[in-house]
Structure 1
Amino acid sequence: MAIKVLKDLCRGCKMCIKACPFQAIDMDGKIAVINEKCTACGACISACPFKAIEKTVDEDVVDLSAYKHIWVYAEQRHGELMGVARELLGEGHRLSREISDDTQVCAVLVGNKIDHLAKECYEYGADKVYLLEDEKLENFTTDGYTKVIVDAINEYKPEIVIYGATHIGRDLAPRVAARLNTGLTADCTKLDVKVSSYIDYCNKNTTLDTSSLDANDPDTGLKQTRPAFGGNLMATIICPKTRPQMSTVRPGVMSKRERNPQATGELVKVDVKVADSDIRTKIINIVKEAKERVSLTDAEIICSGGRGLGAPEGFELIKKFADKVDGVVGSSRACVDNGWIDHSHQVGQTGTTVKPRIYFACGISGAIQHLAGMQSSDIIVAINKDPDAPIFSVADYGIVGDLYKVIPQIIEEWDNAEALFEASQK
């Protein structure tokens, strides 16, 4: 889109200059001129009393039919495939089968000496692996990874590209999208390509008017759903005019496919062209922080504490509880903001999205931002003094009571159960 001034109609009234919020209009004599600050917001169009300004559509139209298949950025670190990559391969496999039988899900591996990861990608759902290897890609740099991925996309033209919303994915995906002049939807919680299922989802989860959508429409554009307005509603976003369609998805949101050790696929070694001059940032040294690693996304059981703990010492009980049930310690944002526990433990929209088998919410009221990060857990057990706490609306099991009395009783019963089991084995 672009803004154009019709010189024959312009009278030099300067109303457009007053209306423009970006100072994107200058005067050349008595004729308005659009400068490089213009964002094509259209404020000047409605302000012009002489209809001398119009919005034009770029003549370059993307041939959407030239783009095929689904790419998943298979993020790896130090030769190890990240958990979110396995999740997205499963989601990509599902989407590919919904589009057509001949649509492939392709993993994109970037790094150096990482060809051994191709087999793992096949096992989690990839039909094909694009391998981008070079010594300069040994460690992640935004410039290097962006260049080689953009080159590969321009050559092979995927229809959809999905990234994990990790520190690397959130840095890389916007750069790639900007260079390709395409859209990007961040932090998606649901992806879909079928219009009919999209309508059903909207009818159940939002107040959007879907009456104008035809469930028989053959369009297979990607419907990208993400929380908006602090998680109070779900926005579904499409990218109808450019390709590829790109999304980032939070770790822990999508389900992994069951691993198939017998799976095989096609390996494509991409001719990578990256020079030293392409990478502006030089890595001098990598210093790993010496602290306990918290892997919330891979945890089967999470014991989370909230403001109801009353003090940071309350996490000593949560840690004891987590150790007893072989889980990890989580937290609400309130505890992190109060400095009671490190941010790496935070569960929620501004922390980590999790999907464990069991989630214990201890002293957590259930703010919508927290619910957005854990409500997909298989089983949710809530412990809270307040019987009207929002957390009970999503809990499978609710215990109304003082967590400092309830949790020790659970631990005691757990010990009794273990003792009975050990006795039965003798």
Structure 2
Amino acid sequence: MTVSDKREMLIFAEQRRGRVHPVAFELLGKAIELSGNRDLTVSAVLLGKGVRGEAQELIYYGAKKVYLFDDPSFYNYDPFLYKANLVALARKINPYAILFGSTHIGRSLAPRVAADLQTGLTADCTDLSIDEDGTFIQTRPAFTGNILAHIKTKTTPSMSTVRYKVMQRASRDENREGVVVNMTPLSSDASWKVICEHIIEGIGLADAEVIVSGGRGLKRPEDFKMLEELAKLLGGVVGSSRPLVDEGWIGKEHQVGFSGNTVKPKLYIACGISGSPQHLAGMRDSEIIIAINLDPSAPIFRYADIGIIGDIYEVVPRFIEILQSVLGSDL
């Protein structure tokens, strides 16, 4: 597929509670970069309720065209309803590529759209490019993150889900101009609807400002409860290194690393994590890193702002005790 075949690079602008998810601005940043001098128009599609203001924000962030589906039925994510409308739009405009964020919604929606369009989908991309002949190249980790695969999609349109916080966010400029295209929503005959928002949003690891992660220093799966208690006191969430996910101690949605989630929290506490390159690739850009490990030679200490050489089973409970004393034991 070449650029001349398809003129629009379409961004799915995911929204939650009427606000566009920041991953959309990262997708716009990459799309603007790729469009360059090529014959491509950067566009976005937004489905939601009362989101006309957000459509204008997408223009400020670089979208030349925003396809707006503004209807109460789109306030909560319904995979069947969203899919039906996106597929209809894609068939109408025949885009060069469609990009989604690798969020819980994006990972749920993109495969459904790809299946209906009978096109390929490359998931969890860490980079995108266009080669000299106009072919779309998608880069993603393969073989459990040991290599990078560079994938060319032969079917059209090319479709990708892109990891959050791995691409440069587009700059906001209120002088940018674009057009909002009001779309007529299609109804869905699907009876099943997702109404439990906590199921849709999931853990929110990539959005968390505080993450407490566990590694091989944990002795039992139940010991994640200790980390959960610390995370709760700090208003954060629990993460994990890959070995514990592979062991089935915790779900893959908690995995931090090259083959898991890329995170940039304000505070990252690594508990019993040695610091493999795979794990460091997913968290080394955190604002503050606290590492707790018995091994003074652990690689994680080279990246830590604060290093504590000690037993996590002594240090973490002490943290919890201090926080409970300061914040109140009822928190």
Bucket of the pairwise TM-score, normalised by the shorter protein:
0.7 to 0.9
Q: Distance in 1 between matches of 2:27 and 2:240?
A: 26
Instruction: Give the number of equivalent residue pairs.
Output: 319
> Which residues of 2 match residues 22-421 of structure 1 at below 5 A?
65-97=4-36, 99-100=37-38, 103-134=40-71, 137-193=74-130, 195=131, 218-239=132-153, 241-260=154-173, 263-272=176-185, 274-276=186-188, 279=189, 281-283=190-192, 286-288=195-197, 295-310=204-219, 316=226, 320=230, 329-333=238-242, 345-348=254-257, 351-356=260-265, 359-367=268-276, 370-377=279-286, 380=289, 382-389=291-298, 391=300, 395=303, 399=307, 401-404=309-312
Shift of 1:360: 3.5
Q: CA deviation at 1:72?
A: 0.8
Distance 1:236 1:381, change over 3 A: farther
Amino acid at match of 1:373: G
- Structure 2 counterpart of 1:364, one-letter code: I
AA at the equivalent of 2:7: K
Contact 2:34 2:129 in 1 (8 A): yes
Query: Cα 1:152–1:317, aligned 2, differ >3 Å: closer, same or farther?
Result: closer
- Determine the C-alpha separation between the residues in 1 that align with 2:194 and 2:136: 40
**Does 1 or 2 have the higher relative contact order (CA < 8 Å, sep 6+)?**
2
Report what 2:327 is aligned to: none
Separation of aligned partners in 2, 1:321 and 1:170: 26
Instruction: Give, in whole Å, the separation in 2 of the partners of 1:365 and 1:294.
Output: 24
Match of 1:212 in 2: none
CA offset digits 1:188-222 (Å, max 9, x no partner): 011122x4xxxxxxxxxxxxxxxxxxxxxx32322
Asked if structure 2 preserves the Cα contact closer than 8 Å seen for 1:227 and 1:235, the reply is yes
For 1:307, what is the secondary structure of its paired residue?
A: coil
Does the CA contact (< 8 Å) of 1:304 and 1:318 recur in 2? no
Deviation at 1:185, TM superposition (A): 0.8
1:329 CA displacement: 4.5
Please give the alpha-carbon distance, in whole angstroms, between the structure 2 residues aligned to 1:317 and 1:152.
45
| Structure 2, unpaired ranges of 5+ | 321-331
What SS does the corresponding residue of 1:152 show, helix, strand or coil? helix
1:309·1:315 contact (CA, 8 Å) conserved in 2? Answer: no
SS of the aligned residue for 2:45 comes to strand
Alpha carbons of 1:344 and 1:177: their partners in 2 closer, same or farther (altered >3 Å)?
Answer: closer
Q: Distance in 1 between matches of 2:289 and 2:194?
A: 43
Indicate if the aligned counterparts of 1:127 and 1:264 stay in contact, CA closer than 8 A.
Answer: yes
Q: Name the CA distance, whole Å, in 1 between partners of 2:187 and 2:211.
A: 45
Highest CA radius of gyration, 1 or 2? 1
Matches of 1:346 and 1:83, distance apart in 2 = 21
The CA RMSD over aligned residues, in Å, is: 3.9
What CA deviation, in whole Å up to 9, does each residue of 1:69-95 have, x standing for no partner? 321100113322223223222222222
The 2-side partners of 1:143 and 1:314 are apart by 35
> Given the two structures, how large is their TM-score scaled by the length of structure 2?
0.76
d(CA) in 1 for partners of 2:66, 2:219: 50
Contact 2:226 2:317 in 1 (8 A): no
- C-alpha separation in 2, matches of 1:322 and 1:285: 26
Cα 1:72–1:285 shift into 2, 3 Å: closer
